[in-house]
Structure 1
Amino acid sequence: MRRIMMAVAALILLSDAACAATTQDNAKRAILANKSRMFKDPDSIRDASIGAVASCPSGNGDCVCVELNARNSMGGMTGLQIVGIRINGSAAEAFGQMADTSKCGKLTPFPALNGVRR
C-alpha cells in the first residue's frame, strides 16, 4: 500500500511539473532575448507593459500580451498597441495585434523592454 501511495505522489508531482505554464519572469527573459528580431526598431519602444501568461488562443503553447508604443516602417510612432507573443522556452515570437484582450490580465510595467531615449 505504501508503494502505491508513493507512486501516486510521484505521478502527481510529475504531472504538475509538466503542466506548469511559463512564468512571467521566463516570458520577460525570452522577449528581451528576441526583441531585436520581433520589432522593427526595438530602440524606439516606449511605455512597455506585460500581461499575465495564458494559453495561446490557438491552444498551441503559452502566450503573453505586451502593450507598447514603437516606431513603424514609416518612422512614425504607432501609439499604444497590444501585441500577442508566443513563448516557447527561451524563444519568443510576436504574432500580431491582439483582437481579444480578455486573457491579457492586468498589465504591469515592463521598463526593461523600453528602448533608449533619443
Structure 2
Amino acid sequence: MKVCWTSGIALMLLSGTALAATSQDNAKRAILANKSRMFKDPDSVRDAAIGTVAPCPSGNGDCVCLELNARNSQGGMSGLRIVGVRIDGASAEAFGEMADTSTCGKMVPFPALNGPRRS
C-alpha cells in the first residue's frame, strides 16, 4: 500500500499536471492584477495566450510566457510577440521579449487578458 501511494505521488510530480493547473491559475490572477503596471495600454491587449509555468532560470520565482499583441510607445500595435513574465506570489512583472521560446510550452488562449473590443 505504501509503495503504491509513493509511486502515485512520484508520477504526479513527474508529470506536473496536478501542480501546473494551480500554478497557471495563480499566474493568471497575478497577471490580471498587475495588468495596468505591465502594459502601456492594457486595454489594447489582443490575442492573448499563456504558456506553461516553470521555475525562472534565475531561481527567483516562477516564469511564464505570454503571447500577445498590444499597443507600443508610439501608439501602434506591436504585432504578435512573446513576453516573459516573472510571478512572485500575487506579483507579476514583465521582463521583456523572449528570444528563446523553447521553455514556454504549449500556449493556451488567455481571453481574460484581452482588452475590450473597440469598433
Question: TM class, shorter-chain normalised?
Answer: 0.7 to 0.9
Do structure 1's residue 64 and structure 2's residue 69 form an aligned pair? no
The equivalent residue for 2:100 is: 100
The equivalent residue for 1:84 is: 84
TM-score of the pair, normalised by structure 2: 0.80
Deviates most, 22-31 or 46-55: 22-31
| Structure number with larger C-alpha Rg | 1
The equivalent residue for 1:74 is: 74
Moved over 6 A (4+): none
SS of 1:77 mapped into structure 2: coil
Do structure 1's residue 49 and structure 2's residue 49 form an aligned pair? yes
Q: Distance in 1 between matches of 2:101 and 2:57?
A: 11
Q: Within 5 Å, which residues of 2 pair with 1:18-33?
A: 23-33=23-33
Q: Distance in 2 between matches of 1:56 and 1:102?
A: 13
Task: Please tell me the residue identity of whatever aligns with 2:83.
Answer: V
Of all paired residues, the percent bearing the same amino acid is 80
Q: Distance in 2 between matches of 1:109 and 1:41?
A: 20
Q: Distance in 2 between matches of 1:59 and 1:44?
A: 32
> CA offsets per residue over residues 31-87 of structure 1, 9 Å max, x none?
000000000000000000000001112222200000000000111000001000000
SS of 2:34 mapped into structure 1: helix
TM-score of the pair, normalised by structure 1: 0.81
SS of 2:104 mapped into structure 1: coil
Q: Distance in 1 between matches of 2:32 and 2:73?
A: 21
Q: Distance in 2 between matches of 1:57 and 1:67?
A: 19
